[in-house]
């Protein structure tokens, strides 16, 4: 038998359906066999997993790596290095950089940066906004993995498109089978409320939630789902934060709308009591959508368990400590880093019995791979797949220390939180990029993840903006 390049032995190989004691044989970038040690070919290099769980690398559908434009917050080396630390082997990066990724020139610029700095694989989101509907097809041809529509304002203050532009954008994306992620919050409700609260002199951290109640998200989720159903566009709901409105998602899925949903560890594990406990430093937990009152966490867990929510993402949103700790909540930048801590936090919950490791692998790897057209090339450990593999230690008691983050953003609400599990080795396409916390891959070894979305299923084609303009009386 021809020797393979690498063999991972003594592994507990996890998929959504099963956990098997097996070896993994890798040739070049590809897994060529998973099976009993006796059946494996000889290998040039052997990694002994020592009986640990070996899982597909996580695919994080929501990160902000800030470059170009805000390099002091994060760049593609520190962002993807943080990902590798966290067992994340593919990231989808958001367009609210400067320039925003809403033109072909900006996309090309970001692709060059990503190719030269990344240590994990990536996809790049194009922006869908009021003024770029006519070039969405150019962005698709340029290689975006999906689109992001900021229905509500957040960092970068990109204005929400009008409903007219959004619907027209969805008409176009539907015909290409592309998925559009929405930041679903209603901007006019939020602006009005924040204005009133600022006028009233509120600067405390609880004012942030009061300005962005869950009805903002409910309304925007339902509006986006209506547009997706009408056009046949594929829709992804970013950072589902509240119990409210889960029934809209359930209903849309039941009706056959291609809608996928992510939630994040912060909405499963944090609440405003913890934000209040931070006192003057409550801004550390300021994020959009906001951390909710106690009581939303459990329904979100249930929604993951019953499949209403498909996946775990992080909304990795790095800012500097100074930007996160200003006196007024309105002055604190929204978001915090997360790509590095998601897997330890979630596996710690697995250790507590909240979910099985198989369910976790569905949420972190298999489901995002399916939603974004990476499956079965990514998101699964089986012959033919790319060797994006993470060895996890499920018996590692540690405390999260923000000073030790690989991200430039050394401030997180997870600081001081106890974890009992973490990734100890991350491999991207057969290359070890992280071992025992050290990033050992060179910048520029990550590449654009190859995507194959299922066939488009556009609807109401006779009523699209293009179709009505074509009408001849
Ligand atoms: O809090 C947030 N910060 N939410 C977002 O949606 C964007 C993010 C950022 O880019 O900082
Ligand atoms: Zn975000």
In a domain, 452, yes or no: no
In a domain, 451, yes or no: no
* CA of 108 relative to ligand 2 center, distance in Å: 21
Q: Helix/strand/coil (H, E, C) string of 192-245? A: HHHHHHHHCCCCCCHHHHHHCCHHHHHHHHHHHHHHHHHHCCEEEECCCCCCCC
In a domain, 156, yes or no: yes
Q: Which atom of ligand 1 is nearest to the CA of 286?
A: 1
Residues of the chain with pLDDT under 50: none
In a domain, 339, yes or no: no
Nearest CA to ligand 1 atom 10: 155
Q: Exposed, middle or buried by CB within 10 Å (0-12, 13-18, 19+), for 403?
A: exposed
Which CATH number covers residue 183? 3.20.20.140
Nearest CA to ligand 1 atom 4: 288
pTM tops 0.75:
yes
* CA of 315 relative to ligand 1 center, distance in Å: 7
32 vs 24: CA distance, rounded Å: 8
Beta bridge partners of 147: 126, 180
Q: Which atom of ligand 1 is nearest to the CA of 64?
A: 10
Beta bridge partners of 448: 122
* CA of 317 relative to ligand 2 center, distance in Å: 6
Structure tokens at 429: 């396409």
* CA of 292 relative to ligand 1 center, distance in Å: 16
In a domain, 298, yes or no: yes
Q: What pLDDT score was predicted for residue 311?
A: 99
Closest ligand to C-alpha of residue 262 is: 2
In a domain, 351, yes or no: no
* CA of 419 relative to ligand 1 center, distance in Å: 25
Q: Are 420 and 389 in contact (CB under 8 A)?
A: no
Q: List, for residues 123-160, the tens digit of each pLDDT value.
A: 999 999 999 999 999 999 999 999 999 999 899 889 99
Closest ligand to C-alpha of residue 125 is: 2
Q: Which atom of ligand 1 is nearest to the CA of 318?
A: 11
Residues with CB under 6 A from ligand 1: 64, 96, 154-155, 183, 287-288, 315, 317, 334-335
* CA of 27 relative to ligand 2 center, distance in Å: 36
- Cβ contacts of 352 within 8 Å, gap of 6 or more: none
* CA of 314 relative to ligand 2 center, distance in Å: 8
Q: How many CB atoms lie within 10 A of CB 376?
A: 14
In a domain, 42, yes or no: no
Q: Which domain holds residue 194?
A: 58-334
Q: List, for residues 294-350, the tens digit of each pLDDT value.
A: 999 999 999 999 999 999 999 999 999 999 999 999 999 999 999 999 999 999 999
Q: Which atom of ligand 1 is nearest to the CA of 94?
A: 10
Closest ligand to C-alpha of residue 65 is: 1
Closest ligand to C-alpha of residue 73 is: 1
* CA of 336 relative to ligand 1 center, distance in Å: 8
Q: Which atom of ligand 1 is nearest to the CA of 183?
A: 6
Q: Indicate the top mutation candidate among 65, 96, 289 to test ligand 1's pocket, ranked by most ligand atoms within 8 A of CB.
A: 96
Q: What pLDDT score was predicted for residue 1?
A: 76
In a domain, 394, yes or no: no
Q: Helix/strand/coil (H, E, C) string of the chain? A: CCCEEEEEEEEEEECCCCEEEEEEEEECCEEEEEECHHHCCCEEEEEECCCCEEEECEEEEEECCCCCCCCCCCCHHHHHHHHHHCCEEEEEECCCCCCCCCCHHHHHHHHHHHHHHCCCEEEEEEECCCCCHHHHHHHHHHCCCEEEEECCCCCCCCCCCCHHHHHHHHHHHHHHCCEEEEECCCHHHHHHHHHHHHHCCCCCCHHHHHHCCHHHHHHHHHHHHHHHHHHCCEEEECCCCCCCCHHHHHHHHHCCCCEEEEECHHHHHCCHHHHHHCHHHHHHHCCCCCCCCCCCHHHHHHHHHCCCCCEECCCECCCCHHHHCCCCHHHCCCCCCCCCCHHHHHHHHHHCCCCCHHHHHHHHHHHHHHHCCCCCCCCCCCCCCECCEEEEECCCCEECCHHHCCCCCCCCCCCCCEECCEEEEEEECCEEEEECCEECCCCCCCCECCCCCCCCCCCCHHHCHHHHHHCCC
Q: Which atom of ligand 1 is nearest to the CA of 238?
A: 6
Q: Which atom of ligand 1 is nearest to the CA of 333?
A: 11
Q: How many domains does the chain have?
A: 1
Q: What pLDDT score was predicted for residue 211?
A: 97
């Amino acid at each position: 038998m021809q020797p393979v390049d690498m063999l991972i032995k003594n592994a507990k190989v996890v998929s959504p359906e099963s956990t098997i004691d097996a070896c993994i044989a890798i040739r070049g970038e590809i897994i060529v066999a998973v099976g009993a040690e006796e059946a494996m070919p000889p290998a040039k290099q052997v990694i002994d997993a020592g009986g640990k769980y070996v899982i597909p690398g996580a695919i994080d559908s929501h990160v902000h790596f800030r470059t170009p434009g805000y390099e002091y917050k994060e760049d593609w080396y520190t962002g993807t290095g943080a990902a590798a630390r966290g067992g994340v082997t593919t990231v989808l990066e958001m367009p609210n950089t400067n320039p925003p990724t809403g033109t072909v020139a900006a996309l090309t610029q970001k692709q060059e940066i990503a190719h030269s700095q990344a240590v994990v694989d990536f996809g790049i989101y194009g922006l869908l906004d009021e003024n770029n509907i006519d070039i969405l097809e150019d962005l698709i041809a340029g290689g975006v993995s999906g689109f992001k529509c900021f229905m509500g304002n957040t960092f970068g203050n990109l204005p929400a498109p009008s409903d007219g532009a959004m619907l027209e954008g969805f008409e176009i994306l539907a015909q290409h089978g592309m998925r559009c992620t929405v930041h679903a919050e209603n901007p006019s409700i939020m602006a009005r409320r924040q204005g009133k609260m600022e006028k009233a002199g509120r600067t405390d951290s609880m004012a942030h939630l009061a300005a962005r109640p869950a009805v903002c998200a409910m309304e925007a989720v339902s509006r986006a789902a209506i547009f997706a159903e009408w056009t046949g566009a594929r829709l992804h709901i970013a950072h589902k934060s509240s119990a409210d409105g889960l029934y809209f998602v359930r209903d849309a899925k039941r009706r056959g709308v291609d809608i996928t949903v992510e939630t994040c560890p912060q909405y499963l594990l944090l609440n405003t009591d913890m934000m209040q406990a931070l006192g003057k430093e409550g801004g550390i937990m300021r994020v959009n959508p906001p951390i909710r009152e106690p009581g939303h966490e459990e329904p979100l867990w249930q929604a993951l368990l019953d499949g209403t929510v498909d996946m775990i993402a992080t909304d990795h949103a790095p800012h500097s400590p100074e930007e996160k700790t200003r006196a007024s909540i309105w002055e604190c930048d929204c978001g915090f880093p997360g790509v590095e801590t998601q897997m330890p936090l979630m596996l710690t919950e697995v250790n507590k019995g909240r979910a099985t490791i198989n369910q976790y692998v569905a949420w972190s790897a298999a489901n995002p791979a399916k939603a974004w057209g990476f499956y079965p090339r990514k998101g699964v450990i089986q012959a033919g797949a790319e060797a994006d593999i993470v060895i996890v230690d499920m018996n590692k008691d540690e405390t999260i220390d923000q000073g030790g983050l690989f991200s430039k953003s050394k401030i997180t609400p997870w600081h001081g939180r106890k974890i009992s599990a973490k990734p100890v080795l991350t491999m991207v396409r057969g290359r070890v990029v992280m071992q025992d916390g050290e990033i050992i891959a060179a910048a520029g070894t990550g590449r654009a993840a190859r995507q194959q979305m299922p066939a488009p299923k556009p609807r109401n084609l006779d009523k699209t903006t293009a179709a009505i303009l074509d009408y001849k009386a």
